[in-house]
Amino acid sequence: MSAIDDRIREVLKQHGRLPIEVDSLRDDDDLYEHGLTSHASVNIMLALEDEFDVEFPDVLLRKGTFQSIAAIRSALVLLGVEVS
């Protein structure tokens, strides 16, 4: 697991309010199927912006951006966050 994934998972643990352990999720698991709500996804977005010092543009403010850890990682890479 990369450092970016660890940071994403930590944000999910703190702000996702998921009814399951975040560490049990695979990178491509659908977070909405595992209990992520639209309200919690907004909290995750804001926390990710703080954690990675980025701002999600309107084009990325859609359900698919936050659907999985892999999707979140891809969005962050698009915003210039380096995978390490």
Single pTM value for the model? 0.95
pLDDT (0 to 100) of residue 1? 65
pLDDT (0 to 100) of residue 83? 86
- Is 7 a member of any domain? yes
Is the separation of the CB atoms in 83 and 73 below 8 Å? Answer: yes
- Is 57 a member of any domain? yes
pLDDT (0 to 100) of residue 27? 97
pLDDT of the chain along its 84 residues, tens only? 689 999 999 999 999 999 999 999 999 999 999 999 999 999 999 999 999 999 999 999 999 999 999 999 999 999 999 987
The CATH number covering residue 9 comes to: 1.10.1200.10
* DSSP letters for 7-53: HHHHHHHHHS--SS-GGG--TTS-TTTTT--HHHHHHHHHHHHHHHT
- Is 84 a member of any domain? no
* Distance from C-alpha of 55 to C-alpha of 35, rounded to nearest angstrom: 25
- Show the domain range for 37: 3-78
pLDDT (0 to 100) of residue 51? 98
| Structural domains in the chain (count) | 1
Indicate the SS3 state at residue 54: coil
